[in-house]
Amino acid sequence: MGRALKIDVTAEGVETLEHAHILRDMGCTTLQGYYFARPMDGAGLLAFIAKEAWRDTPAMGERAA
């Protein structure tokens, strides 16, 4: 429906790389959930950013073997 209306779609609750691939293939333009990071407070977010922790998450272009 989002594509038909030409609006971005955010999928919440993404828990695995497989979920992320399915949702991306369905047209979701933004993904969020435990797969990418657990909920955190402000100090935790600053630490997450400072150590570039998101780089530890396999990229969307990678598929599990």
Segments making up each domain of the chain, as ranges: 2-56
Q: E strands, the chain, where?
A: 10-11, 30-31
Cβ contacts of 18-24, under 8 Å, gap ≥ 24:
18/64, 20/60, 21/60, 21/63, 24/60
The contacts of residue 3 (CB under 8 Å, 6+ apart) are: 9, 27
Neighbours of 20 (CB within 10 A): 21
pLDDT, one tens digit per residue, over 16-39 is 999 999 998 988 889 999 998 889
What pLDDT, on the 0 to 100 scale, is given for residue 15?
Answer: 94
* Position 62 pLDDT exceeds 90: no
